[in-house]
Chains A and B, each alone.
Chain A
Amino acid sequence: DAKTTQPPSMDCAEGRAANLPCNHSTISGNEYVYWYRQIHSQGPQYIIHGLKNNETNEMASLIITEDRKSSTLILPHATLRDTAVYYCIALNYGGSQGNLIFGKGTKLSVKP
């Protein structure tokens, strides 16, 4: 599975959009980009995933560049409860049994 690179930390003002970048320059054609988050001391929570097209659900939007070398997770109106560590993971369905490889993620702090 491709390695992903994320900034270690980011701040965001409450009510503003939080844009979390992820670099996955070695991603292969059959690897999906998954995003999870972990609120302090809790188990990780699935947010969204995508392959090529942009995706949106009730939690967030995922924008993947045309060359698929990077992506951005967007929380449109961040709240204090969105303060968490966000993990970007490249996942090959076929080769890994769906096993997730977590890096250190981005610690997002939403401030009032």
Chain B
Amino acid sequence: NAGVTQTPKFRVLKTGQSMTLLCAQDMNHEYMYWYRQDPGMGLRLIHYSVGEGTTAKGEVPDGYNVSRLKKQNFLLGLESAAPSQTSVYFCASRRIEGYEQYFGPGTRLTVT
């Protein structure tokens, strides 16, 4: 099992450009999450999904959109990137029954 994978690992964007981050999990987990982590800080929840076709806002959703068209994939979109979105983005997933979240390796995004 690959667990939780994230694509790409690194990306540099110019202000105003758009991009999509892909998260994939092969554990058949129902719940999926997107977090961001700024230097010296803990993770903050952007959006999450409790199942295929559903999404919900987390603590810091502004400037991001998400989609969960397939159970195994959770996409995070930035429509018009801003320097404030420079961060490391982590995806996670979990089963319905257990509350332990399994995290991906992260995507390091720089917006110039």
Q: Which residues of A are in contact with B by a Cβ distance under 8 Å?
A: 32, 34, 41-46, 49, 87, 91, 93, 97-105
Contact = CB atoms under 8 A, between A and B. Distances in A.
Contacts of A42: 105-106
6 contacts: A32-B99, A41-B106, A46-B101, A46-B102, A98-B94, A98-B99
A43 B44 contact: no
Interface of A is mostly: loop
A94 to B, nearest CB: 11
Q: Would you call the interface of chain B mostly helix, strand, loop, or mixed?
A: strand
A79 B68 CA distance: 39
A45 B101 CA distance: 8
Contact of A43 (B31, B100, B104): B104
A76 B98 CA distance: 25
A6 to B, nearest CB: 11
B56 interface: yes
Contacts of B41: 104
A64 to B, nearest CB: 16
Given A46-B101, A93-B99, A99 B42 contact: no
